[in-house]
Amino acid sequence: MEFYKINDKTVSKDKIMHHIDKILTMRSLGSSQAEVANCFNIDRTFISRIETLGEIRKGKKVALIGFPIANIEEVEKLSKSYGVNYTLLLSEKQRYEFLTVKHGLELFNNLIDIVAEIRTYDTVILIGSDMRINLLESLLDGEIIGIEIGESPIKEDVVVDLEKLEEIMKNLK
């Protein structure tokens, strides 16, 4: 446990973090700031200030879909740093395994589930071949941002330009 001596009181950092975790969980589950404040017997504006301190992105729900990606870890890290809500990135090997391990109805259902999921997002960033971007644009609603990494068919992993992707994510704030 980590303690701080502040004038005549001793404060537990763990206790503070535990309560903040509870506050954020309640808010993410739909409780209002006022409801959470009442639960903890604190001022509602304190809840607002905690949320503001941790805010990464405001507004639209954003999804990022991309394949075949060579630098998946770096793209995922960038995605997380900008608060992207849903990320699905595959290398060529992962894409091939996804398509060959599942058969028939299971594969079809998985693909439909993925499309249904990403249709719920306000903005979808698509990284892929020209053909895949065009196909997904026709299936999705909302704002679609395509990052073309080659002409179809792409048979090898491609390194995503992180600066270009970051510029797009900055503009989504």
Q: Report the C-alpha gap between 15 and 154 in whole angstroms.
A: 52
The reported pLDDT for the residue numbered 58 is: 67
Domain boundaries, the chain: 3-54, 62-171
Distance CA 45, CA 12 (A): 22
- What 3-state class would DSSP assign to 29? coil
Residue 139 pLDDT greater than 70, yes or no: yes
State the Cα–Cα distance between residues 172 and 57, nearest whole angstrom: 8
Q: Look up the CATH number of domain 3-54.
A: 1.10.10
For residue 54, what pLDDT is reported? 79
User: What does pTM read for this prediction?
Assistant: 0.70
Sign of CA dihedral 118, 123, 128, 134: positive
Instruction: Specify the residue for token string 């719920």.
Output: 120
CATH dotted code for 62-171: 3.40.50
**Res. 171: pLDDT tops 80:** yes
